[in-house]
Amino acid sequence: MKDAGRMALSMRSNLEVSQKTSPEDQVSNADLAISALIKNRLIERFREDLVISEEDANHQVAIESFKRFWLIDPIDGTQNYIMDHDDYCVMVGLLARTDARPAPVPIYGFVLAPQTARLYHGGVDCGAYRIDLNDESKEHKELRVHGSLISESKARVLMGTRDRRAHPWVQSVQQLQLIKTGSIGLKVARILEGEADLFIHLSGKLKTWDTAGPAAIALGAGLDVGCLDSDSLEFPLPATLQECSVIMGKPGALNWCRKHLSREAIKDD
């Protein structure tokens, strides 16, 4: 991850950008280079696992013979990266399945913010941690979330720009204070740092590599991770699209969102 961060910083001055599916869906030569770096190292070290990157040419892969899956988002927040903003990160998430749970679930995740040299990592039953890579001690500082959300409380809510545009009514919810941060990984980091209460995505258009790493870290920290209609977040491999809302936040975040941001809540208002 550290080498990926260095690569992100060094390549920013010589970017080549092309369009994928739309003008808002762009990819840079840095995305491709970081993807190749991380993917090659994971394949070399974990030969029995399946490694999937956002920048793979083909995501239609057979998963039946695999039990563990690495999902890579080489630059989450490519638009911010291209525009020389700080809100981008490198993300890797590990999913695994067992005989008891055939659907893959988050196990461990990594989120690196190159601009601040902060690496967040953690997973289920492991805790959540931050390493300041510029600090000589390289201490793994455990991050503990204090407090919980009750349905009547006001919440500091992180929500993506496109999602806000698609749901403008959100800004009229009295118990909601919107906070703007680009990358999903950095949104979860802000919750862990005590700067926000929850992240929500309502549109149902996130990809599994967007959420695998952050979800694992969030679960490690004891955060709520789920949807408006489920207490857990599904990873429907080999499909890559999560066609549901996504919520990560302090304990109580799921119930808070269901009270204030669900269809039923909108009708009541």
Flag whether pLDDT at 263 surpasses 80: no
Q: Where are the domains of the chain?
A: 2-142, 155-268
Q: Which residues are annotated as a binding site?
A: 54, 73, 75-76, 210
pLDDT score of 171: 87
Model confidence at 34: pLDDT above 60: yes
Give CATH for domain 2-142: 3.30.540.10
- HEC letters along 150-170: CCCCCEEEECCHHHHHHCHHH
Return the closest-CA partner of residue 123 out of 54, 195, 214. Answer: 214
Residue 23 has a pLDDT of 65
- What the block records as the tokens of 20 is 């994928």
Count of residues making up the chain: 269
Measuring CA to CA, how many Å separate 262 from each of 122, 253, 259, 269? Answer: 30, 13, 7, 11
Burial of residue 78 (CB within 10 Å: 0-12, 13-18, 19+) is buried
The model's pTM is 0.94
Q: State the Cα–Cα distance between residues 221 and 190, nearest whole angstrom.
A: 13
Please check whether residue 124 is in contact with residue 219, taking contact to mean a CB–CB distance below 8 angstroms. yes
Pairing relationship of beta strands 118-123 and 127-132 according to DSSP bridges: antiparallel
As a CATH number, domain 155-268 is 3.40.190.80
Asked if pLDDT for residue 268 goes beyond 70, the answer is no
On the question of pLDDT at 266 being above 60, the answer is no
**Spatial separation of the C-alpha atoms in residues 120 and 184, rounded to whole Å:** 13
Q: What is the pLDDT of residue 188?
A: 97
Segment 57-109, tens digit of pLDDT:
888 788 888 999 999 999 999 999 999 999 999 999 999 997 777 889 999 99
Binding-site members for Mg(2+) are 54, 73, 75-76, 210
The pLDDT tens digits for 210-238 are: 999 999 999 999 999 999 999 999 999 98
For residues 230-249, average pLDDT: 93
Q: How many CB atoms lie within 10 A of CB 83?
A: 11
Which residues lie below 8 Å from residue 122, measured CB to CB, with a gap of 6+? 108, 109, 128, 129, 143, 216, 217, 219, 220, 221
DSSP structure class, residue 62: -
Q: Read off the pLDDT band of 259 (50, 70, 90).
A: very high
CB 109 within 8 A of CB 94: yes
pLDDT tens, residue by residue, 161-216: 889 999 999 988 999 999 988 899 999 999 999 999 999 999 988 999 999 999 99
pLDDT digits (tens, 9 = 90+) for 106-155: 999 999 999 999 999 999 999 999 999 988 888 899 998 888 999 888 99
Chain position carrying tokens 């857990």: 232
